[in-house]
């Protein structure tokens, strides 16, 4: 019987490369060959056994592959390159029934709560497969899932052309949110505690980039913000760091009646003054996963191939997965997105 390679995280920071039984295509599904999987902070937490999931698990939820055994009832012939929507929800709870399947209490994410994409072949329900636009590399297409998360945060902000948005945190989600916002005609100011990371936001459409120091904003930054917003402050703030101090900055800087979208994740406690919320009638929104935005994410990446390519700083073969995680964990190495080439053919555009 033929087998497929799978990289399983068996215990904290320990991988096992296994030859598992070749998966068979199930009814209503396509069998795909996995080409490229990009990694995010969640993956590192799982690898370090610092996440709400039990090991062992095959990780990988940002997946691009190629259909090898198609579903006869779907319009995805063999050879079609696809991105996988990793979410499954119950479809029956109040959240699911009101269009919020992304926060279903029974939500499952491939590679986070069940075996995922760091394996050669997967059988995936056809409705969760989205065609990769022609000319896009599989490496870039794998970024559709994190891009959809950035777009969900932007959608939650309900931006209008001419708005000014402050994006706090210039990691991949903050940078992708900057691209999505500028695409909608929003003026973006991006900020990060790392000056180089903040500066990089200007290649992602940001009109101004602020290094966050002990006093934020400093006098010059304050003047820039005032000029851009007629003294009112930004109407939108996307908080993409998860740091309590950053949420506090957001509450302080948001314009009256403005909206803060919290997309950065953390288990830390943030202390806020209740009155700050009422005084400015602040709208404080959470944002998690995305609601069916993978096709929109692929379209956004297609409009901004250069930015997408810039986000990818490292590529490794699946056999180098441990090195990839160590690179991510090493704070002295600036990393954007790390792409794992699962199949040797992966990465190419067609």
> What residues make contact with Zn ion under the rule CB under 5 A?
40, 42, 89-90, 93, 96, 104
Nearer to Zn ion, 40 or 250 (CB): 40
In angstroms, give the least distance from the CB of 283 to Zn ion. 25
Whose Cβ is closer to Zn ion: residue 53's or residue 224's? 53
Cis? peptide before 23, omega within 30° of 0: no
Q: Minimal distance in Å, beta carbon 96 to Zn ion?
A: 3
Residue 100 CB, shortest distance to Zn ion, in Å, is: 8
**245-253 own/partner pairs: CB under 8 Å, 24+ apart:** 246/168, 246/169, 246/212, 247/272, 248/272, 249/168, 249/212, 249/216, 250/166, 250/168, 251/276, 251/277, 251/282, 251/284, 252/276, 253/166, 253/217, 253/225
CA distance 334 to 137: 23
Q: Of 144 and 318, which CB lies nearer to Zn ion in the complex structure?
A: 144
The CB density around residue 50, as the number of other CB atoms within 10 Å, is 10
Q: Could you tell me if 179 and 159 are in contact, meaning their C-beta atoms sit under 8 angstroms apart?
A: no
Q: Which is nearer to Zn ion, 202 or 327 (CB)?
A: 327
Half-sphere exposure of 292 (CA within 13 A, CB side): 5
Shortest Cβ distance from residue 62 to Zn ion (Å)? 5
Rank residues 25 and 61 by Cβ distance to Zn ion and give the closer one: 61
- Whether residue 203 contacts residue 197, with contact meaning beta carbons closer than 8 Å, is answered with no
Smallest distance from Zn ion to CB 298, Å:
16
Cβ closest to Zn ion, residue 24 vs residue 266: 266
The span from the CA of 197 to the CA of 211, in Å, is 8
What's the closest the beta carbon of residue 40 comes to Zn ion, in angstroms? 3
CB of 146 to Zn ion, least distance (A): 5
Run of H or E including 327:
helix 321-329
Tell me the C-alpha distance between 208 and 223, whole Å: 12
Instruction: State how far the Cα of 336 lies from the Cα of 146, in Å rounded to an integer.
Output: 12
Backbone angles phi, psi at 160, to 5 degrees: -120, 150
Two structure tokens written together for 75: 């319009």
Output 74 or 90, the one with its CB closest to Zn ion: 90
C-alpha–C-alpha distance, residues 109 and 104, integer Å: 11
Distance between CA 285 and CA 145 in Å, rounded? Answer: 21
Least spacing, CB of residue 103 vs Zn ion, in Å? 8
Reported as type and span, the H/E element at residue 299 is: helix 294-303
CB of 311 to Zn ion, least distance (A): 13
The label of the residue with tokens 């394996």 reads 119
């Amino acid at each position: 019987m033929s087998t497929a390679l799978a990289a399983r995280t068996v215990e904290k920071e320990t991988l096992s490369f296994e030859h598992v039984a070749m998966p068979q295509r199930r009814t209503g599904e396509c069998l795909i060959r996995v080409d490229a999987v990009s990694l995010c902070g969640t993956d590192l937490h799982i690898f370090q056994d610092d996440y709400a999931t039990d090991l062992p698990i095959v990780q990988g939820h940002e997946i691009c592959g190629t259909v090898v055994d198609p579903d006869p009832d779907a319009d995805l012939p063999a050879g079609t390159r696809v991105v996988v929507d990793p979410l499954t929800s119950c479809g029956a709870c109040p959240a699911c029934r009101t269009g919020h399947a992304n926060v279903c209490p029974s939500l499952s994410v491939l590679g986070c709560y069940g075996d995922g994409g760091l394996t050669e072949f997967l059988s995936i329900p056809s409705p969760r497969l989205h065609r990769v636009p022609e000319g896009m590399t599989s490496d870039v297409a794998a970024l559709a899932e994190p891009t959809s998360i950035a777009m969900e945060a932007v959608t939650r902000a309900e931006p209008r052309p001419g708005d000014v948005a402050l994006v706090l945190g210039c990691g991949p989600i903050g940078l992708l949110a900057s691209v999505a916002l500028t695409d909608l005609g929003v003026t973006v100011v991006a900020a990060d505690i790392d000056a180089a990371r903040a500066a990089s936001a200007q290649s992602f459409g940001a009109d101004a980039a602020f290094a966050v120091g002990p006093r934020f904003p400093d006098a010059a930054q304050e003047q820039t913000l005032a000029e851009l917003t007629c003294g009112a402050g930004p109407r939108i703030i996307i908080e993409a760091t998860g740091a309590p101090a950053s949420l506090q900055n957001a509450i302080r800087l948001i314009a009256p009646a403005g909206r803060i979208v919290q997309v950065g994740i953390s288990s830390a406690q943030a202390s806020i003054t209740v009155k700050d919320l009422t005084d400015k009638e602040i709208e404080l929104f959470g944002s998690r996963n995305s609601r069916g935005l993978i096709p929109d994410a692929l379209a956004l990446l297609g409009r901004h191939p250069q930015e997408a390519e810039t986000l990818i700083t490292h590529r490794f073969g699946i056999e180098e997965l441990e090195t990839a995680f160590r690179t991510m964990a090493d704070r002295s190495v600036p990393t954007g997105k790390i792409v794992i080439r699962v199949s040797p053919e992966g990465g190419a555009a067609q």
